[in-house]
Chains A and B, each alone.
Chain A
Amino acid sequence: MSLAKPDANDLSSKQKVAVASGVVGLFILILALFNTDFINNGLFLTTSLGLIFLGTILFANDAYLSKLLGIKNDGVWFKSISSRGTLGWISGIALTLFYIVLYFYPNLLGLGGNSASNTGLVSLFDPLSKLLNGNPASQWFVYGSLYTVAILAFGYKFILKYRHNKYQQLRTFSVMFFQLGFAFLIPEFMARLNSDTFKLPYYDLKNMWPLNYYNFEQYRIDDFINAGNIGMALLFFGIVSIFVISPFLTYKYGKRWYCSWVCGCGGLAETAGDSFRQLSSKKLSAWKLERWLVHTVLVFVVLMTTSVIYTYLGYDPDKYWLTKGVFLALVGALLTLVFAVVMIFKRNELGKDARYGAIGYFVIIMALFSMHYFSNGSNLFLFEAETLRSTYGFMIGAIFSGVVGTGFYPILGNRVWCRFGCPMAAILGFQQRMFSRFRITTNGGQCISCGNCSTYCEMGIDVRAYAQKGENIVRSSCVGCGICAAVCPRGVLKLENDSMQGRINPNEILLGNDVDLMDLVNKK
């Protein structure tokens, strides 16, 4: 929540008042946590969130509105909060603990189980929950509300920080809109439509599989099917999202259309997490780890989802055309198709590692599939589907994306999850690297290797390594936040959508030197 508190001794008096306001707001939440009996929960919740908003807004106004337009990174590495100082570690630990409690001990937050009414922090949010969806709050409602408050409040701060930069403003408006509307309000309103005869699963429409790894689980599919046309439309949308909409938009605009314009994880990272973007590791070793980790998660989620769906499908094609066998065949065919297309058309573009990785994973998946035909059909693969599902939910859904992904913002940077763990990012990144019109163009020979771009890349891309070679940046991990281009003091970087031709253009000799020499050395 209130993540961006620079050292108190550097604060102006207005900023101190702002911080005080935010702290009082947070303090009310903490009081609630300790079961303080507020006379009027609605009033105190409003006061609390209001004070947090007010504090962030006052702080941002004072920090940015009084200054001329421009890059506002003065002192980033001197502030305790943004340079892994004491405040950074305290916030990191506090956030991590919050996530552990949220995921594993919601009763500590006051969640009333078994028709008992809520207490503590969760009960503080009951009035808002009842207002929106008619039911008492859950720990997820509390989390969703705080999450939305964070994106809105820090989004405002970010917009002021980059008020000279239209790209930054627009995409921040966009993530604020999608968080407030799609992730928060619409699902709550949808819940209101539910009755005894009609029930839709909780559905954040922009949150597509595999980020939303549970979207095709049996209870949700049942809900979709039972909800008639609307339900079927939602299910259809979920499938089309990942197989049609996202490849198309990624082809046109790069994965940024999702990761830094729409996605909720990205939204939090870009707003509340903005103060930590410089903490991501730019080491080559981190990149190697990243590629293995994120693609392993992707393989995991594909296997898990396949096995989960497989278990609830039937055997008899007369009852429903999509049987266990047909489904497996479809998955296998799709994977083979993707693999074949990449190997045929893009083999030369891939480095050795990526090729080995692709071959390795393909073999694994095929091997696991073939095992199906040697098993008796009740359990798929090496593991029970349920074991896979619960392991994924625990390891990836809770620990990786929540506890580590967000809790470690102040230590590892604001995109730990997106970079190392998100299977959605892996898919979109693969599409971006293989067939997208998006790239970050390098401006000829203008780079002075200063390193601002690399330092402020939240995905840990060594942007400078490309820029100083006059090479466009075409990287699967790039979320297109555009900060590298913003902080570049020489106008070297530009996010662009252009033709695929000549998109990847390594140069040994940069533009500006002897034309003959450039021709000689850069011949490809």
Chain B
Amino acid sequence: MEHIVIIGNGISGVTAARHIRKLSDKKITIVSAETDYFFARTALMYVYMGHMKFEHTQPYENWFWKKNRIELKKGYVKTIETKSKTLHFADGDMLQYDTLVIATGSKPNKFGWPGQDLDGVMGMYHKQDLDNLEKYAPNNKVCKHAVIVGGGLIGIELAEMLNSRNIPVTFLVREDSFWDIVLPEGESKMINRHIKNHHIDLRLGVNLKEIIADENGKAKGVVVAETGEIIDCDVVGLTAGVSPNIDFIKDSDIETGRGVKVNRFLETNIPDVYAIGDCAEQHEAIGQRRPIEAVWYTGRMMGETVAQTICGNRIEHKPGHWYNSAKFLDIEYQTYGWVFAKPGENEIHFHWKHEDDTKCITVCFDKNTNEFLGVNTLGIRMRHETFDKWLTEKRDVDYVMNHLSEANFDPEFYKQYETEILLSFNNQFQKA
């Protein structure tokens, strides 16, 4: 029987395994060095915050794997020998495969900062990072102050986590405004204010120079590059993005760039070896997407897709309209279609913000054709299906603005702002 081995038990690998099982009777083994069972990485923060216990982050009960004949092997793959189709584990173990799916995800970026490997310095990506944080920042007596370096989605989540235990946080962000490489100005600025309202010491436009150690090799402070200021702290969170977790593949015959190079069918240069999720790098970007997409949803889509290919229905990875979501402390963020930080050459951004400074919307459209290109909302929930449909139908912006309430997904009895938004839109663009 064909043996499918999947390295990595994150959303990509597990989705692939589930779909392969649905489509076939092949033998499936999932390998992970991180945890025994699949858990939702995105939920680790809620464990530290006390909203959930770790077992709540596991979407399937432990009996699920056996029942679906998906074998789980805990172990760290050291090398992949593609000629003999063998995995070699760090503990000397070996495993034969017929088909291999690499789904090893990401690891936190470290940019060679002095002191980046000290005790008390951590990313927030793996289960082990959570354990580490629990060790070095159990409360505000052990951890009197924390510094977070890098203003992206994981950075603000880590800030929220520490905040939940009343640990004072200084948040060093390289950009002049939070996540302004992705968020348009109005949204980014709103989040700046929201972060400060949570009493987080947000420092914009600053970089880390080095992390200073105490006599035991534990972090005791950071030096800010621009000012030379020393900030005392017990924990340093490094959250300056992630990159593919593929160091163990570099010596194999599998072609790598920043990630494992794959074609549109998620095939690597070696037959019967596929790569999906955060660790896969497309030879050429798909549409306006990036060649590497470290996004939950994309990982899941690749898992769904590669399962088809492995089970005989060879299909391209052809993701639909872009969408994403996040939560910045108390403010939810959703996006459908493309809204870039700065409008492109032929694009116009319409921005509306509620006076309470926790809700806003940015709509991007083509200034020549009026075609609706995308929407960002903060603090207002929108319906994925509706926007997906409008994007497919290439609706113009006037249609979208006039029908915005159809896309509203806020809970019942919430105040709706579509009329106000439409009024503002009409005023701004002198529409009747």
Contacts and interface: CB of A to CB of B under 8 A. Distances in A.
Interface stretch (A230-238, A411-419, A445-453): A445-453
B212 to A, nearest CB: 31
Determine which residue in A70, A451, A496 has the highest number of CB atoms from chain B within 10 A of its CB, and name it: A451
B305 A513 contact: yes
Interface in B298-351: 300-301, 304-305, 308, 313, 315-321, 323, 325-327, 329-330, 332, 334
Interface in B17-35: 19, 22
B334 A482 contact: no
Nearest to B51: A73
B325 A490 contact: yes
Contact of A76 (B50, B57, B300): B50
Contacts of A511: 320, 384-385, 388
A454 B56 contact: yes
Contacts of B412: 166-167, 482, 494-496
Contacts of B409: 441, 443, 491, 494
A68 B197 contact: yes
B297 interface: yes
Contacts of A510: 300-301, 304
Interface in A390-446: 441, 443-446
A283 to B, nearest CB: 7
A445 B52 contact: no
B327 A490 contact: yes
A318 interface: no
Interface in A464-502: 464-465, 468, 482, 485-487, 489-491, 494-496
A196 interface: no
A75 B166 CA distance: 11
Interface stretch (B40-48, B76-84, B234-242, B423-431): B40-48
A88 to B, nearest CB: 14
Interface string A246-262: 00000000000000000
A344 interface: no
A165 interface: yes
B51 A452 contact: yes
Given A68-B198, A448-B42, A517-B318, A508 B22 contact: yes
Interface in A151-167: 164-167
A77 B414 contact: no
Interface in A34-88: 68-71, 73-79
B297 A445 contact: yes
A516 B52 CA distance: 37
A509 B306 CA distance: 12
Contact of B334 (A75, A446, A495, A516): A446
A74 B384 contact: no
A166 B50 contact: no
A79 B383 CA distance: 36
Contacts of B327: 489-490
B301 A512 contact: yes
A441 B382 CA distance: 12
Chain B interface bracket (under 10, 10 to 19, 20 to 34, 35 or more): 35 or more
B415 A512 contact: no
B249 to A, nearest CB: 26
B164 interface: yes
B40 A75 contact: no
B50 A512 contact: no
Contacts of B330: 68-71, 164
B413 A513 contact: no
A455 B297 contact: no
B49 interface: yes
B61 A283 contact: yes
Contacts of A449: 11, 40, 42-43, 59
A8 interface: no
B245 interface: no
A515 B320 contact: yes
Contacts of B92: none
B315 A166 contact: no
A439 B320 CA distance: 26
B411 interface: yes
A444 B50 contact: no
B65 interface: no
A377 B323 CA distance: 69
A170 interface: yes
A70 B381 contact: no
A148 B330 CA distance: 33
Contact of B332 (A68, A76, A455, A490): A490
A454 B46 CA distance: 13
Nearest to B11: A449
Contact of A166 (B46, B297, B300, B411): B411
A490 B329 CA distance: 12
Contacts of B42: 448-450
Contacts of B305: 513-514, 517
A330 interface: no
Contacts of B59: 449, 451, 464-465, 468
Contacts of B320: 511-515
Given A68-B330, A494-B409, A446 B384 contact: yes
A166 B415 contact: yes
Contact of A448 (B296, B319, B358, B381): B296
A77 B53 contact: yes
B381 A443 contact: yes
Given A73-B51, A167-B412, A512-B321, A489 B332 contact: yes
A333 interface: no
A130 B384 CA distance: 58
Given A68-B330, A69-B358, A445-B323, A451 B383 contact: no
A368 interface: no
Contacts of B197: 68
Contact of A517 (B46, B61, B315, B413): B315
Contacts of A482: 411-412
Interface in B376-432: 381-385, 388, 392, 409-415
A284 interface: yes
Contacts of B300: 445, 510
Nearest to A482: B411
Contacts of B40: 448-451
Contact of B297 (A164, A508, A512): A512
B56 A451 contact: yes
A444 B106 CA distance: 25
B43 A167 contact: no
Contact of A450 (B43, B53, B317, B415): B43
Nearest to B57: A451
A448 B39 CA distance: 11
A78 B326 CA distance: 25
Contacts of A76: 50-51
Nearest to B52: A455
Contacts of B11: 449
Contacts of A170: 413
Interface string B47-76: 001111100111101000000000000000
A452 B52 CA distance: 7
Determine which residue in B51, B317, B319, B413 has the highest number of CB atoms from chain A within 10 A of its CB, and name it: B51
Contacts of A513: 301, 304-305, 318-320
B388 to A, nearest CB: 6
18 contacts: A70-B330, A71-B51, A73-B49, A73-B50, A78-B50, A167-B413, A448-B40, A448-B43, A449-B42, A450-B57, A451-B46, A489-B332, A491-B381, A508-B19, A508-B22, A512-B319, A514-B305, A514-B318
Given A443-B385, A494-B412, 13 more contacts: A69-B330, A166-B411, A443-B409, A444-B384, A450-B57, A454-B56, A485-B411, A491-B332, A491-B381, A496-B412, A512-B297, A512-B323, A514-B316
Which 7 residue pairs of A and B lie closest in terms of their CB atoms, listed nearest first?
A444-B384, A70-B330, A491-B381, A450-B43, A514-B318, A166-B413, A75-B50
Interface of A: 68-71, 73-79, 164-167, 170, 283-284, 441, 443-446, 448-452, 454-455, 464-465, 468, 482, 485-487, 489-491, 494-496, 508-517, 520-521
